[in-house]
Amino acid sequence: MVSPGSQLPPTPAVPKRYELLTLGDELLLGLTPNGHLTFIGAQLGRRGVLLERNVTITDEAEAIARQFRESWAKADVVITTGGLGPTCDDRTREVLAGVLGQKLVFDPAIEQAMLARFAAFGRKMTPNNLKQAYKFERGEVLPNAHGTAPGLWVEQDGKVLCMLPGPPNELQPMFIEQVLPRLAKLGLVLDREAYVQLRTAGVGESALETRLQPVFDRYGDALSVAFCAHQAQVDCRVSSPGGKLSTAQLEAIAAECAQLLGEDFMGYGHDSLAKICADLLRAQDKKLAVVETATGGLLANAFTEACGACKFFAGGVVCCSNDAKMQLLDVPECLLLQHGAVSAEAAVAMATGAAETLGADYALAVTGFAGASAAGGPGGNPVGTIFIALHAPQGVWSKKLNYPGPRATVKVRAVNAALDWLRRELVRAQAGAVTPARRSGLMQ
Amino acid sequence: MVSPGSQLPPTPAVPKRYELLTLGDELLLGLTPNGHLTFIGAQLGRRGVLLERNVTITDEAEAIARQFRESWAKADVVITTGGLGPTCDDRTREVLAGVLGQKLVFDPAIEQAMLARFAAFGRKMTPNNLKQAYKFERGEVLPNAHGTAPGLWVEQDGKVLCMLPGPPNELQPMFIEQVLPRLAKLGLVLDREAYVQLRTAGVGESALETRLQPVFDRYGDALSVAFCAHQAQVDCRVSSPGGKLSTAQLEAIAAECAQLLGEDFMGYGHDSLAKICADLLRAQDKKLAVVETATGGLLANAFTEACGACKFFAGGVVCCSNDAKMQLLDVPECLLLQHGAVSAEAAVAMATGAAETLGADYALAVTGFAGASAAGGPGGNPVGTIFIALHAPQGVWSKKLNYPGPRATVKVRAVNAALDWLRRELVRAQAGAVTPARRSGLMQ
């Protein structure tokens, strides 16, 4: 039943060892989060590579040399970030050239690119920038479209060294546009996504596995399945070790799973809940308004991250006082006094008020006690109690949720629960169904 | 002039080597950011220790053993995070005990604490949880008030091993309440903050150094100064290597710097701009409203992070369409049509509208084109153009700002610029000054 996939290159028999060296005192002092690990780890994972190790060390030359020597001896591919800039604590280039026994040579093409960049910004290039115009004598240059320091690429001893600049807006496009294609050409990563990913929402990891297992069982060990749980969202990744199943077969399996999951299936790939909602709103030419207390602006921000948000985002209101709810959204004072601001009644009134005031087709309201420092409500609801409401053309409903944990976690989970409810309603509207939103899997 | 400080223990002559091992495939796959590095690095930095290295490795037993052997040989203190839970991929306890040649022994006190915790949540404890009730035969237990897996503490070979659970809400209080005091008792960290920190806003790193250098020069090498630049904010840390200056002397030096800096001085310590604004608003019994387009909810969220935000936060509006501005805030349509939504005039009208509609004493407005995907405006303003406006009891003003860079950076810088403007105005109001806000250092 399982035929060998012809479109897929076989996964390497002996997996290659990747190490990531992130350089900089600012990482070790906790001044900057290590976003390079998150980004590069995820990108490699999508191409079938599990990063073996990430080491963060200081800017000190001896520490860099010691660590690089050790990593270079063990790994097949070493990626470094940071320390390529113009200042005196940027030592990566010089130190690594020393360890590899290579000379650094001046590259006039890099100097030209830097001069053009400074000219475009109307600034004068200071002499210390010239340090960035040196490359390895037996190495290549990865041009930097978003900054002055280019990346550097060295193949030596049957291994690869890839040196990337520290700023994320320079590193990230360089990694996707230049590094991944070079690694794929050398067979060190797959030349396509290593798995087909289904994103799901509103269903736990073990329940998801139970529902999909009958599909997976039909393929035995030709199929590999991994689950990744996020807040209120679980990804399921199907792949084929050794390439026994073709991409088309994996996609067919994923489609069967999506069918089985119904509304719990969010989409293929890596789109966020907010992006999926935004696309559905745009496709249906509908507008959304939001009103939030406990999530403090994060629900609105999830939408304004999307491109061209003005087309579908009618506006948002962040309030915690009853005054603001009454003034901006015409929520009746008597309702707030009787039921409290953290109640199903208040949530419904807020959602309806937001939709009507802002002229939106859909509206989400989130009200609650988010974190340890919040006081409990008049209705005796404990901290972590959240009410969300959805106003849609078909009606308006509310749900009560309860999330334990710290404030930041509660906020993210409440935002995701609200987004997922909206997504389900939009999916139903697109399908032309008139099923009331209360049938949602999240409903209590 | 410089007398040896008597209150300070001398900094150790030979600094101790700290290594942090963060365990988990989810970190290497980029599914979870490595927040433990950020938190522990910052906490150690505040106690005078620069973490020497952070290594992130997989959950695989052999990888953990190999890395721990290497780190234990080199370091004086090894801190691990993760892998202490109940499931089969939680192997840290067993593997490290093996490397150190210790037995794991069952501790009934841990079992009792777990049973109590499960009972409090009305859940039944499954048998796999008992794994977490084992400690090192020659080691101690760090009780976990926020989860089931306790931390473990081992002193052996003149070194310290400290094993912490992975969830941040369990790790962070354990580190502050239990780990730092133990390390201080052993003389491995200072028993107080290692430096006095001045936070500044609205002034660049080099300009700051130039203004403060005359003060620093009087103390020669008894004083050490470090600058840490954030977005629109620079911290200055003064300390005394070898304890030549007392804490009181360092505080006097910091106070002199603060005096010199005037309004550019934000405060001592680690408070954020939003926290400082919140404290000033509370102290003056004033209310704030915000309205934002480009920052999408992040300005409002900065305030709702603060405890008891309802006391001073009147509410926020997030809008991108002209309709929302007109409907919620009474911004005149003709003004928006004539000047565009990204203009000084619109910003001022939005701030005033927010203050009046929400009954606030102060209001901040942020409008602009935040990022690469935003379209330029009718007034020909390029991407990265931001107008902010401040409404205060004394009047209402606007500023034009321009930030290059990616959307996320522009958002953070715009939020900080708005917060800093409010802070300066509140500081002046507190001092009883009637100086107009336009004298702000940020004013263009």
Alpha-carbon B155 to chain mean position: 31
Question: Across the strands, what pairs with B128?
Answer: none
- Give pLDDT, residue B128: 83
**Partner residue opposite A30 with nearest CB, options B38, B310, B316:** B38
**Contact present, B369 and B399 (Cβ < 8 Å):** no
Q: Is A81 exposed, middle or buried (0-12, 13-18, 19+ CB in 10 A)?
A: buried
A234 chain-B contacts, CB cut-off 8 A? none
- For the stretch B54-66, pLDDT in tens is 999 998 999 999 9
pTM to 2 decimal places: 0.85
CB contact (8 A) between residue B305 and residue A297? no
What local confidence, expressed as pLDDT, does residue A45 receive? 92
CA distance B439 to chain A (A): 28
**Distance in angstroms (rounded) separating the CA atoms of residues B327 and A328:** 9
Residues listed for chain B: 444
Best residue of A310, A326, A410 to probe chain B, by most B CBs closer than 10 Å: A310
Instruction: Provide the CATH number for the domain formed by A273-439 in this structure.
Output: 3.90.950.20
Question: What tens digit of pLDDT does each residue of B258-311 get?
Answer: 999 999 999 999 999 999 999 999 999 999 999 999 898 999 999 877 667 888
Q: How far apart are CA A363 and CA A287, in angstroms?
A: 8
Is residue B250 within 8 A of residue B3, CB to CB? The reply is: no
Determine which helix (DSSP H) or strand (DSSP E) holds B394, and give its type and residue range: none
B33–A30: do the CB atoms touch at under 8 Å?
no
Give tens-digit pLDDT for A69-109: 999 999 999 999 999 988 777 889 999 999 999 999 999 99
**Domain ranges for chain A:** 18-185, 196-268, 273-439
- Does the beta-carbon distance from A38 to B54 stay under 8 Å? no
Q: Which of B62, B233, B234, B318 is most worth mutating to test chain A (most A CB atoms within 10 A of its CB)?
A: B318
Average pLDDT of the residues of chain B: 88
DSSP A179: I
Q: How many alpha carbons lie under 13 Å from residue A434 in its C-beta half-sphere?
A: 1
Binary contact (B230, A31; C-beta < 8 A): yes
Bridge partners for A390 per DSSP: A364, A397
Answer whether B56's CB lies under 8 Å from A53's CB: yes
Report which DSSP code applies to A127: G
Q: Cβ separation of B33 and A38 shorter than 8 Å?
A: yes
Q: Which of A26, A50, A315 minimises the CB distance to B317?
A: A315
Please indicate whether, in this complex, the C-beta atoms of B33 and A31 are within 8 angstroms of each other. no
Is the dihedral angle over the CA atoms B110, B115, B120, B123 positive or is it negative?
positive
Choose the closest CB to B318 out of A39, A316, A405: A316
Give the whole-angstrom CA distance, residue A67 versus residue A111.
30
Say if CB B29 and CB B210 are below 8 A apart: no
Q: Which residues of A touch B25 (CB under 8 A)?
A: 50
Q: Check A323 against B26: CB less than 8 A apart.
A: no
CATH class for the region spanning A196-268:
alpha beta
> Considering chain A, what is the average pLDDT of its residues?
88
Chain A, chain B: beta-carbon pairs less than 8 Å apart: 223
Q: How does pLDDT run across A199-227, given as a tens digit for each residue?
A: 999 888 888 999 999 999 999 999 999 88
CA atoms within 13 A on the CB side of B314: 23
pLDDT at B7: 37
Do residue B27 and residue A53 have CB atoms under 8 angstroms apart?
no
Measured between CA atoms, how close is B176 to chain A, in angstroms?
15
Among chain B residues, the shortest Cα distance to A294 is held by B304
The amino acid occupying position B315 is: G
Which candidate from B41, B314, B405 shows the least CB-CB separation from A324? Answer: B314
**Do B359 and A35 count as a contact with CB atoms less than 8 A apart?**
no
Q: Give the nearest partner residue to A318 out of B41, B316, B324, using CB atoms.
A: B316
Which residue in chain A has the smallest CA separation from B375? A308
Report the pLDDT value the prediction gives residue A126, as an integer from 0 to 100: 83
Provide mean pLDDT across the span B395-405: 89
Residue A13 has pLDDT above 80, yes or no: no
Q: Which of B29, B50, B55 sits opposite A50 (nearest CB)?
A: B29
Min Cα–Cα distance to chain A from B321, Å:
6
B133 vs B406: which has the higher pLDDT: B133
Mean pLDDT of A235-240: 92
Residue B295 and residue B411 in contact, taking contact as beta carbons nearer than 8 Å: yes
Distances in Å between the Cα of A46 and the Cα atoms of A20, A180, A251, A386, B240 are: 16, 11, 16, 35, 48
Q: Of the given ranges (A177-191, A238-252, A299-313, B286-300), which has the lowest mean pLDDT? A: A299-313
pLDDT at B380 over 80: no
Q: How distant is the Cα of B433 from the closest Cα of chain A, in angstroms?
A: 30
On chain B, the residues whose CB falls within 8 A of the CB of A328 are 315, 317, 328, 357-358
Q: Is the pLDDT assigned to residue A295 strictly greater than 60?
A: yes
Model confidence at B394: pLDDT above 60? yes
* Spatial separation of the C-alpha atoms in residues A31 and A34, rounded to whole Å: 10
Cβ contact, residue pair B63, A51, below 8 Å: no
Predicted local confidence at residue A52, as pLDDT: 96
**ipTM score here?**
0.84
For B42, name the nearest residue in chain A, comparing CA atoms only. A30
* Bridge partners, B55 (sequence order): A55, B21
CA of A199 vs chain B CAs: smallest distance (Å): 14
Residues above pLDDT 70, as percent of chain A:
91
**What architecture does CATH give domain B18-185?**
3-Layer(aba) Sandwich (3.40)
Cα A285 to chain center, whole Å?
26
User: How far apart are alpha carbons B221 and B224 in whole angstroms?
Assistant: 7
Q: Which residues of chain B are within 8 Å of residue A406 when distances are taken between CB atoms?
A: 168-169
- Give B-chain residues touching A409 at CB under 8 angstroms: 169
